[in-house]
Protein backbone atom coordinates (compact mmCIF):
# COMPACT_ATOMS: atom_id res chain seq x y z
CA UNK A 1 0.00 0.00 0.00
CA UNK A 2 1.38 3.40 -1.02
CA UNK A 3 1.79 5.72 1.99
CA UNK A 4 0.03 9.05 2.02
CA UNK A 5 2.15 11.97 0.82
CA UNK A 6 4.08 13.73 3.55
CA UNK A 7 3.96 17.54 3.35
CA UNK A 8 6.10 19.86 5.46
CA UNK A 9 4.86 23.40 6.10
CA UNK A 10 7.08 26.21 7.31
CA UNK A 11 7.28 30.01 7.12
CA UNK A 12 9.09 33.06 8.48
CA UNK A 13 6.11 34.48 10.39
CA UNK A 14 5.77 31.90 13.15
CA UNK A 15 3.87 28.63 13.56
CA UNK A 16 0.81 30.57 14.79
CA UNK A 17 0.53 32.83 11.72
CA UNK A 18 -2.72 32.91 9.80
CA UNK A 19 -1.06 32.01 6.50
CA UNK A 20 0.47 28.71 7.64
CA UNK A 21 -2.67 27.77 9.57
CA UNK A 22 -4.76 28.36 6.44
CA UNK A 23 -2.41 26.07 4.53
CA UNK A 24 -2.68 23.40 7.22
CA UNK A 25 -6.48 23.46 6.94
CA UNK A 26 -6.49 23.71 3.16
CA UNK A 27 -3.99 20.94 2.37
CA UNK A 28 -4.84 18.32 5.00
CA UNK A 29 -6.77 16.15 2.55
CA UNK A 30 -3.64 15.73 0.38
CA UNK A 31 -1.65 13.74 2.93
CA UNK A 32 0.02 13.84 6.32
CA UNK A 33 1.03 17.38 7.29
CA UNK A 34 3.74 18.62 9.64
CA UNK A 35 4.42 22.20 10.72
CA UNK A 36 7.99 23.01 11.71
CA UNK A 37 8.23 26.79 11.87
CA UNK A 38 9.79 29.61 13.89
CA UNK A 39 8.31 30.43 17.29
CA UNK A 40 8.19 34.12 16.33
CA UNK A 41 8.51 36.31 13.26
CA UNK A 42 11.80 35.84 11.40
CA UNK A 43 11.21 37.97 8.32
CA UNK A 44 14.16 38.91 6.07
CA UNK A 45 16.35 36.20 7.60
CA UNK A 46 17.24 34.80 4.18
CA UNK A 47 19.25 31.53 4.40
CA UNK A 48 20.77 32.28 7.80
CA UNK A 49 21.58 29.30 10.03
CA UNK A 50 22.01 29.40 13.80
CA UNK A 51 25.52 28.07 14.43
CA UNK A 52 26.76 29.77 17.61
CA UNK A 53 23.98 28.98 20.04
CA UNK A 54 21.73 25.98 20.68
CA UNK A 55 18.29 25.71 19.13
CA UNK A 56 15.31 25.03 21.36
CA UNK A 57 12.14 23.42 20.06
CA UNK A 58 8.68 23.28 21.59
CA UNK A 59 6.22 20.58 20.54
CA UNK A 60 2.96 22.50 20.34
CA UNK A 61 0.81 19.48 19.50
CA UNK A 62 0.96 16.42 17.32
CA UNK A 63 3.00 17.20 14.16
CA UNK A 64 3.48 20.89 15.08
CA UNK A 65 6.89 22.17 16.28
CA UNK A 66 7.99 25.72 17.12
CA UNK A 67 11.71 26.49 16.72
CA UNK A 68 13.55 29.47 18.22
CA UNK A 69 15.60 29.78 15.04
CA UNK A 70 15.41 30.80 11.40
CA UNK A 71 13.30 29.29 8.62
CA UNK A 72 16.39 27.49 7.29
CA UNK A 73 16.99 26.08 10.79
CA UNK A 74 13.43 24.75 10.73
CA UNK A 75 14.04 22.82 7.52
CA UNK A 76 17.25 21.32 8.92
CA UNK A 77 15.58 20.19 12.14
CA UNK A 78 12.52 18.87 10.36
CA UNK A 79 14.57 16.82 7.92
CA UNK A 80 17.06 15.48 10.46
CA UNK A 81 14.94 15.08 13.61
CA UNK A 82 11.19 15.50 13.48
CA UNK A 83 9.86 14.00 10.24
CA UNK A 84 9.36 10.23 10.00
CA UNK A 85 10.77 10.25 6.46
CA UNK A 86 11.76 12.58 3.64
CA UNK A 87 8.74 14.71 2.73
CA UNK A 88 7.17 14.61 -0.70
CA UNK A 89 6.66 18.37 -0.76
CA UNK A 90 7.68 21.44 1.24
CA UNK A 91 5.45 24.51 1.23
CA UNK A 92 6.74 27.73 2.79
CA UNK A 93 4.19 30.45 3.57
CA UNK A 94 1.71 31.87 3.06
CA UNK A 95 3.53 35.14 3.64
CA UNK A 96 1.30 38.20 4.21
CA UNK A 97 3.07 40.38 1.69
CA UNK A 98 4.66 39.83 -1.71
CA UNK A 99 8.10 38.45 -2.42
CA UNK A 100 8.67 39.89 -5.87
CA UNK A 101 11.84 40.95 -7.59
CA UNK A 102 15.51 40.33 -6.92
CA UNK A 103 15.81 41.96 -3.50
CA UNK A 104 12.65 40.41 -2.02
CA UNK A 105 13.70 36.96 -3.20
CA UNK A 106 17.21 37.39 -1.79
CA UNK A 107 16.16 38.62 1.66
CA UNK A 108 12.98 36.60 2.13
CA UNK A 109 12.87 33.96 4.85
CA UNK A 110 9.79 32.53 3.14
CA UNK A 111 11.61 31.95 -0.14
CA UNK A 112 14.83 30.84 1.54
CA UNK A 113 13.06 28.14 3.55
CA UNK A 114 11.88 26.64 0.25
CA UNK A 115 15.38 26.98 -1.22
CA UNK A 116 16.74 25.12 1.80
CA UNK A 117 14.27 22.35 1.03
CA UNK A 118 15.57 22.24 -2.53
CA UNK A 119 19.10 21.84 -1.13
CA UNK A 120 17.77 18.65 0.47
CA UNK A 121 16.43 17.59 -2.96
CA UNK A 122 12.81 17.90 -1.85
CA UNK A 123 10.30 19.59 -4.20
CA UNK A 124 9.75 22.97 -2.54
CA UNK A 125 7.56 26.00 -3.15
CA UNK A 126 7.26 29.40 -1.49
CA UNK A 127 3.91 31.20 -1.39
CA UNK A 128 3.34 34.90 -0.74
CA UNK A 129 0.18 37.00 -0.89
CA UNK A 130 -0.55 40.50 -2.12
CA UNK A 131 -3.05 42.57 -0.15
CA UNK A 132 -6.18 44.10 -1.65
CA UNK A 133 -6.86 47.84 -1.70
CA UNK A 134 -8.04 47.72 1.92
CA UNK A 135 -4.85 46.00 3.05
CA UNK A 136 -6.55 42.62 3.61
CA UNK A 137 -5.07 39.23 2.64
CA UNK A 138 -7.35 36.53 1.23
CA UNK A 139 -5.87 33.45 2.87
CA UNK A 140 -8.75 31.06 2.21
CA UNK A 141 -8.90 31.77 -1.52
CA UNK A 142 -5.12 31.57 -1.79
CA UNK A 143 -5.08 28.23 0.05
CA UNK A 144 -7.41 26.84 -2.64
CA UNK A 145 -4.90 27.88 -5.30
CA UNK A 146 -2.04 26.28 -3.37
CA UNK A 147 -4.11 23.10 -2.99
CA UNK A 148 -4.39 22.79 -6.77
CA UNK A 149 -0.70 23.48 -7.27
CA UNK A 150 0.40 21.12 -4.49
CA UNK A 151 -1.83 18.35 -5.82
CA UNK A 152 -0.24 18.74 -9.24
CA UNK A 153 3.35 18.74 -7.96
CA UNK A 154 2.76 15.73 -5.78
CA UNK A 155 2.05 13.86 -9.02
CA UNK A 156 4.54 15.60 -11.30
CA UNK A 157 7.89 16.13 -9.61
CA UNK A 158 9.68 19.43 -9.96
CA UNK A 159 12.98 19.41 -11.86
CA UNK A 160 15.96 18.93 -9.56
CA UNK A 161 17.52 22.15 -8.33
CA UNK A 162 14.41 24.27 -8.92
CA UNK A 163 12.44 26.17 -6.26
CA UNK A 164 9.13 27.75 -7.17
CA UNK A 165 8.34 31.24 -5.90
CA UNK A 166 4.61 31.91 -6.08
CA UNK A 167 2.85 35.22 -5.50
CA UNK A 168 -0.94 35.37 -5.33
CA UNK A 169 -2.80 38.67 -5.76
CA UNK A 170 -6.26 39.30 -4.27
CA UNK A 171 -9.20 37.81 -6.20
CA UNK A 172 -10.51 37.96 -8.82
CA UNK A 173 -7.38 36.57 -10.47
CA UNK A 174 -6.70 37.29 -14.13
CA UNK A 175 -4.89 33.99 -14.55
CA UNK A 176 -1.49 32.44 -13.98
CA UNK A 177 1.81 33.48 -15.56
CA UNK A 178 5.21 31.81 -15.57
CA UNK A 179 7.55 34.70 -14.87
CA UNK A 180 11.15 35.81 -14.44
CA UNK A 181 12.52 37.52 -11.35
CA UNK A 182 11.96 41.22 -11.86
CA UNK A 183 13.51 44.31 -10.31
CA UNK A 184 12.02 46.27 -7.43
CA UNK A 185 14.61 48.57 -5.86
CA UNK A 186 14.18 49.88 -2.35
CA UNK A 187 15.42 53.28 -1.19
CA UNK A 188 17.48 52.45 1.91
CA UNK A 189 16.17 54.04 5.08
CA UNK A 190 18.00 54.06 8.42
CA UNK A 191 16.30 55.71 11.40
CA UNK A 192 18.45 56.78 14.34
CA UNK A 193 17.00 57.12 17.85
CA UNK A 194 18.33 57.53 21.38
CA UNK A 195 17.82 55.22 24.34
CA UNK A 196 17.30 56.57 27.91
CA UNK A 197 21.09 56.72 28.37
CA UNK A 198 21.50 58.78 25.19
CA UNK A 199 23.12 55.92 23.28
CA UNK A 200 22.20 55.72 19.61
CA UNK A 201 20.31 52.80 18.15
CA UNK A 202 19.04 52.22 14.63
CA UNK A 203 16.07 50.80 12.73
CA UNK A 204 16.61 49.61 9.18
CA UNK A 205 13.61 50.18 6.94
CA UNK A 206 13.06 49.32 3.30
CA UNK A 207 11.39 52.54 2.18
CA UNK A 208 9.15 52.76 -0.88
CA UNK A 209 10.21 50.45 -3.71
CA UNK A 210 10.84 51.65 -7.23
CA UNK A 211 9.51 49.15 -9.75
CA UNK A 212 11.54 48.58 -12.90
CA UNK A 213 8.99 47.47 -15.49
CA UNK A 214 10.20 44.52 -17.54
CA UNK A 215 8.34 42.12 -19.79
CA UNK A 216 7.60 38.69 -18.28
CA UNK A 217 8.73 39.82 -14.81
CA UNK A 218 7.02 38.68 -11.62
CA UNK A 219 6.73 42.29 -10.46
CA UNK A 220 4.79 43.42 -13.54
CA UNK A 221 2.56 40.33 -13.81
CA UNK A 222 1.57 40.47 -10.14
CA UNK A 223 0.82 44.19 -10.45
CA UNK A 224 -1.51 43.35 -13.33
CA UNK A 225 -3.44 40.85 -11.20
CA UNK A 226 -1.89 37.54 -12.26
CA UNK A 227 -0.74 34.70 -10.04
CA UNK A 228 2.99 34.48 -10.70
CA UNK A 229 5.06 31.31 -10.66
CA UNK A 230 8.78 31.97 -10.87
CA UNK A 231 11.26 29.08 -11.06
CA UNK A 232 14.43 29.80 -9.09
CA UNK A 233 17.66 27.88 -9.70
CA UNK A 234 19.88 27.07 -6.76
CA UNK A 235 22.79 26.88 -9.22
CA UNK A 236 23.86 30.53 -9.23
CA UNK A 237 26.34 30.13 -12.07
CA UNK A 238 25.99 32.69 -14.85
CA UNK A 239 25.29 30.40 -17.80
CA UNK A 240 25.57 33.28 -20.23
CA UNK A 241 29.07 33.83 -18.87
CA UNK A 242 29.02 37.56 -19.59
CA UNK A 243 32.10 37.98 -17.42
CA UNK A 244 33.99 35.06 -18.93
CA UNK A 245 36.20 37.04 -21.38
CA UNK A 246 37.25 39.43 -18.61
CA UNK A 247 37.87 36.59 -16.19
CA UNK A 248 40.01 34.76 -18.75
CA UNK A 249 42.27 37.80 -19.05
CA UNK A 250 42.48 38.00 -15.25
CA UNK A 251 43.38 34.32 -14.91
CA UNK A 252 46.05 34.58 -17.59
CA UNK A 253 47.51 37.67 -15.93
CA UNK A 254 48.13 35.85 -12.63
CA UNK A 255 51.41 34.04 -12.85
CA UNK A 256 52.72 31.48 -10.35
CA UNK A 257 55.59 32.75 -8.23
Q: Which of 89, 210, 216 is nearest to 157 (CA)?
A: 89
Q: How confident is the model at residue 240 (pLDDT cuts 50, 70, 90)?
A: low
pTM confidence score? 0.90
The structural domains of the chain, with segments of one domain joined by +, span 6-182+213-253
Half-sphere exposure of residue 158: CA atoms within 13 angstroms, side-chain side:
28
Task: For the chain, give the percent of residues with pLDDT over 90.
Answer: 79
Domain covering 6-182+213-253: architecture: 3-Layer(aba) Sandwich (3.40)
Exposed (0-12), middle (13-18) or buried (19+): which is 129, by Cβ within 10 Å?
buried
Phi and psi (nearest 5°) for 128? -130, 150
Instruction: Output the average pLDDT for the chain.
Output: 92
Mean per-residue pLDDT for 19-33?
97
Amino acid sequence: MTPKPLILLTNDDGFFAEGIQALFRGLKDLGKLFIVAPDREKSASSLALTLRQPLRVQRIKSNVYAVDGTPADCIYLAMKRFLPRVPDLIVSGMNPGPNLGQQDVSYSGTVSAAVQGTFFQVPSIAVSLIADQDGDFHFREAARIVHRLAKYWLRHKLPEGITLNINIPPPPFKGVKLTKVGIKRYEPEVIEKKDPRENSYYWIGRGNPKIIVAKDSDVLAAHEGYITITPLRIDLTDDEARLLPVMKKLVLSIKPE
